[in-house]
Amino acid sequence: MSVQTRSTQDPLWARVLLIGGMLAFLGLFLFVPLASVFVEAFRRGLAVYAAAITEENARSAITLTLTLAAICVPLNAVFGVTAAWAIAKFSFKGKSLLLALIDLPFAVSPVVSGLVYVLLFGANGLFGAWLQAHDIQIIFAVPGMALATIFVTFPFVARELIPLMQAQGNDQEYAALSLGASGWQTFLRVTLPNIKWALFYGIILCNARAMGEFGAVSVVSGHIRGETNTLPLHVEVLYNEYNSAAAFACASILSLLGLLTLALKTFIEWRAGLRHRNP
Amino acid sequence: MGKKRPRSILPGFGLSLGFTLAYLGLIVLFPLLLVFVKASGLGWSGLYHAVSTTRVLAACRLTFGLSALACLLNCVFGLLIAWVLVRYRFPGRGFLDASVDLPFAMPTAVAGIALTGIYAPNGWIGSLLAPYGIKVAFAPPGILIALVFIGLPFVVRTLQPVLEDFEIAQEEAAASLGATRWQTFRRVVFPQLAPALVTGTTLAFARAVGEYGSVVFIAGNMPGKTEIVPLLIITKLEQYDYAGATALAALMLLISFALLLLINFLQRKTLVRPTT
């Protein structure tokens, strides 16, 4: 940012007005809702809060949420690195189409993302009869929820790595190979250290979405208490039962996850000097 | 790109591209394709009957109307916020900048119940509005608020890099030629921001149209009145109306793809690449 001279500075009243407008807007839409989560969560006191988040269904919801993230994040991270290697390191036809297709899941409504797996694996779905005959349950069970979560978090890691690796070029890898390193060594010792912050960044965003996803998971979950309710779905159940204190208590855990994600994200942007403007 | 890279030197091309295509195909493309195959199985008249009911049409009007309104609000306030964050220096700027991403980081269900709690007739803000007969939660204004919430970062984050790269010299030139600050903004700055603003607003619209989690709690979900399309898809699924749900899903997918193409076109045309 260059130094602004007088002639390119907005008048004081305009600056005050615009900053005031921004604070009012962000306050109303971001900070008041965030604050309300914690106020409502502790409204009935610490004991009620503790009970709500340690109760059996809440614990199983937390476990399921962690399980889903543990399945989806590594898979999409491996995919992201692999896709970025293929797309950034080599030239081939149809690359821009492939890039657009990788971003596709972001454009799809979460509800439709869940629905596609019901059409595939549901009782009336394409493989429904076969699955039933072999007594395999995918929809209304963990595998379906994992698939839906993988779908909605699909592009996160790839879209962080591809532009970075394209910008970095291949020179360092060529140097390593010409010095006798194997392909695998080159990847581990040269490429991976170069992309580690972007990879971490993508993983954090992927994880936040995986743990917080609601619509897609809701379609395939079946909402069986203590079995197929993730933490966001558990929040919905509690809220619809007018158990507001418990709903907000569980929501506060998810809010903390969101805040932690933001903090880590900001830290990486600062640490790695990434200027990330990434909707 | 452009320049040809020798393919043989770096290893792993076949393996990495093969895995990428297989994973993409199995997780994303095949399932999405199936929606269209199933929808086309209904035939034209079947599709038409599935999406031409008054309930579906009302849901479409509500979803697209409110999404358009929400992204216009985001267009105005997103521009304001991006401008303030890039151009002004004041304490707490970094914190506010980071907090713009809150709607991305917060699970949608949390945003949904928080907004509902605030705008319900007995909530912090809802109770202030209730005496004047203004109903926000469980009415269209509530849906609008949820859609503004989730769309905001798209506009701000698309505009910020363009504003940061903007050459102050152009504004100096305008000012030295006697333009007022407002004239400079309108005639010099705004035309160059406009493409990014359109891109960000379209991104916000695309997100709003499909949004579910933050809306269902605050919407009230009255068929024909406050029922959005994604909820209607779920309702149809729960009633085992697979044909109806599939037809609606295919419609939504077509709209998403059209928006995606439009966004790609806008980004390529204006060289705004918010991915780096």
Per-residue pLDDT tens over the stretch B89-148: 999 999 999 999 999 999 999 999 999 999 999 999 999 998 998 999 999 999 999 999
Residue type, B87: R
**Helical ranges in chain A per DSSP H:** 12-26, 32-41, 46-54, 56-89, 95-107, 110-121, 128-133, 142-153, 156-168, 171-178, 183-186, 192-212, 215-221, 231-240, 244-271
Closest Cα in chain A to B161? A277
Chain A residues in contact with B145 by the CB 8 A cut-off are 29
Closest Cα in chain B to A266? B98
Residue B276 pLDDT level (bands cut at 50, 70, 90): very low
Chain A residues in contact with B94 by the CB 8 A cut-off are 266
Tell me the C-alpha distance between A66 and A63, whole Å. Answer: 5
Residue listed under structure tokens 């999405």: B32
Average pLDDT over residues B176-182: 88
Residue B274 has pLDDT above 50, yes or no: no
Tell me phi and psi for residue A56, to 5 degrees: -60, -45
Q: Following CA atoms A107, A109, A114, A116 in sequence, which dihedral angle do they give, to the nearest 10 degrees?
A: -60
Per-residue burial over B59-78, b if 16 or more Cβ lie within 10 Å, else e, is: bbebbbebbebbbebbbebb
Distance, in angstroms, between B237 CA and closest chain A CA?
8
CB–CB of A36 and B7 under 8 A?
A: no
Q: Which two tokens stand for residue B180?
A: 């007022």
Nearest to A278 among B172, B230, B274 (CB): B274
CB–CB of A183 and B158 under 8 A?
A: no
Chain B residues in contact with A242 by the CB 8 A cut-off are none
For A203-229, the pLDDT digits (tens) are: 999 999 999 999 999 999 988 888 899
Residue B46 pLDDT level (bands cut at 50, 70, 90): confident
Tell me the C-alpha distance between B108 and B47, whole Å. Answer: 31
Tell me the C-alpha distance between A214 and A209, whole Å. Answer: 9
Residue B7 pLDDT level (bands cut at 50, 70, 90): low
Chain B residues in contact with A145 by the CB 8 A cut-off are none
A246 to chain B, any CB pair closer than 8 A? The answer is: no
A143 to chain B, any CB pair closer than 8 A? The answer is: no
Residue-level pLDDT, tens digit, chain A, 279 residues: 445 566 778 888 999 999 999 999 999 999 999 999 999 999 999 999 999 999 999 999 999 999 999 999 999 999 999 999 999 999 999 998 999 899 999 999 999 999 999 999 998 889 999 999 999 999 999 999 999 999 999 999 999 999 999 999 899 999 999 999 998 999 999 999 999 999 999 999 999 999 999 999 999 998 888 889 999 999 999 999 999 999 999 999 999 999 999 999 999 988 887 655 544
Select from B89, B102, B201, B271 the residue whose CB has the most chain A CBs within 10 Å, as the one to mutate to test that interface: B102
A10 to chain B, any CB pair closer than 8 A? The answer is: yes
Pick the closest to residue A81 from A184, A211, A213 (CA basis). A184
Average pLDDT over residues B156-185: 90
Distance, in angstroms, between B51 CA and closest chain A CA?
16
For B13-34, the pLDDT digits (tens) are: 999 999 999 999 999 999 999 9
Specify the pLDDT at position B272.
47
Percent of chain B with pLDDT over 90: 69
Chain B residues in contact with A119 by the CB 8 A cut-off are 31, 34-35, 38, 242, 246
Specify the pLDDT at position B273.
46
A188 to chain B, any CB pair closer than 8 A? The answer is: no
Residue B174 has pLDDT above 80, yes or no: yes
Q: How many CB atoms lie within 10 A of CB B43?
A: 10
Residue B275 has pLDDT above 50, yes or no: no
Tell me the C-alpha distance between B154 and A275, whole Å. Answer: 16
Q: Which two tokens stand for residue B131?
A: 């005496």
Select from A97, A109, A190, A270 the residue whose CB has the most chain B CBs within 10 Å, as the one to mutate to test that interface: A109
pTM: 0.91
Nearest to B217 among A2, A28, A239 (CB): A239
Closest Cα in chain A to B29? A101
CB–CB of B107 and A22 under 8 A?
A: no
